Structure 1
Amino acid sequence: MQLIYAAASPFARKTRVVASETGLTSRLGLIETTVLPVDVNERVNAVNPLGKIPVLLTDDGEALYDSRVICEYLDSLHDKPRLFPADPGRRWRTLRLAALADGVMEAAVLTRYERAARPAERQWDEWVDGQLAKVRRGLASLEVSTDLLNEPLDIAQIGVACALGYLDFRFAELNWRHESPKLAAFNEQFADRDSMRSTAPV
């Protein structure tokens, strides 16, 4: 298998953490690239018409995207406890938290694009404020759900940790720990996992 990814992408990091936690890293070839909204990356476009990363090229010649699909596919290839729970009660709670983490990541990435890729005179401050408000609301909701992050390892914990890692990487000025002490405690412990340390953004 081959993963087309960018080291700074929290969505790509999530797939790499899943590969590490499931013992699949040795089966995963990494193809590093960059994708910005204003760029045309023909290699990525050829396998994902949306032009987004990550993309997983399976051994069967399939191209899988987005990160949610890739993570669930990887979770089907190992014999360890599943990261996507089968029990309906826990499954939907987990997927809801995972979706919330993805939403925080998406809003943060869009803000990063607006600030870094768009010329300063064309940036839309109100739009940025709206995206960062999504981040703050998402973190507030996760803060009151941290008890659900204490269950056996699952995709929600991985997603939340990657979202928080991206905020530290790109948005240190948000000082999110001040408003989210329980999330901060979760992150401090989770960030020490080998899978997180080996995929830290650069």
Structure 2
Amino acid sequence: MKLYHSVTSPFVRKVMVTAHELGLVGRLELLPAAAHPVNRDGGIVAHNPLGQVPTLILDDGTVLADSRVICEYLDHVGQGGLFPRNSDRWGVLAAQSLGDGLLDAALLVVYEGRVRAETERSEAWVAGQRAKMESALQRIEAVAPSLGDRLDIGTITFACALGYLDLRFPEIDWHGRYPAADAWFARFNARPSMRATMPA
């Protein structure tokens, strides 16, 4: 399997954490990628018309895009339980959606500052995305005491989202403002899968 990869992409990190937890890292060939919302990487676009990472090419040539799809495929291949099949499934998928939504908002803020010309930037747009980030953090703070030692696609997504905030938004000091989330993240972030995928 070949994975279009970027070490700083939180969605790629989500896939890599999943692969580590399932013992599948050795089966992934990592392909360098320069995904960009404007200057698209033609190498990725040749396989995935959206030009996004992560993009996974299976051994038979099938292409899977979107971290949610790729992670579920890896869970299927690795016969893991990161996507429960029982009544817990919907809560886990809802947690994944919340974490992905936090990441979507954070990435839009990053793109607004890095990709748009200063004269094209919208303070209202940025404020709206930052409000989504705060709302998501408040919800994670509320559920953090109940997460315990859970390992599933929901907790993996939470951890990758919080790690991305550390990378790109240290000024928001979520550690100091959300103590329950901070305590949970400290435990989860010590997992070998998280240490191995930490952005340089």
RMSD across aligned positions (CA): 1.2
Deviations 1:28-73 (A, max 9, x none): 1111212111102111111111121100111121100100000000
Quick check: 38-47 or 14-23, which moved more? 38-47
8 Å contact kept, 1:48–1:65:
yes
Displacement of 1:152 in angstroms is 3.3
Q: Distance in 2 between matches of 1:164 and 1:152?
A: 16
8 Å contact kept, 2:34–2:40:
no
In structure 1, which of residues 98, 101, 107 is the aligned counterpart of residue 99 of structure 2? 101
1:12 is the counterpart of 2:9: no
Identical-pair percentage: 44
8 Å contact kept, 1:7–1:32:
no
Partner of 2:53: 53
Give runs of aligned pairs for residues 65-80 of structure 1, distance below 5 A: 65-79=65-79
Q: Distance in 2 between matches of 1:65 and 1:148?
A: 31
Q: What letter is aligned with 1:31?
A: L
Q: What letter is aligned with 1:135?
A: M
Kindly tell me: are residues 25 and 72 of structure 1, through their superposed partners in 2, closer, same or farther at Cα, counting changes over 3 Å? same
Q: Distance in 2 between matches of 1:32 and 1:184?
A: 32
Give runs of aligned pairs for residues 178-193 of structure 1, distance below 5 A: 178-193=176-191
Displacement of 1:148 in angstroms is 4.2
Displacement of 1:198 in angstroms is 1.0
Q: What letter is aligned with 2:122?
A: W
Q: What letter is aligned with 2:83?
A: F
Quick check: 35-44 or 10-19, which moved more? 35-44
Q: Distance in 2 between matches of 1:152 and 1:70?
A: 20
SS of match in other structure, 2:73:
helix
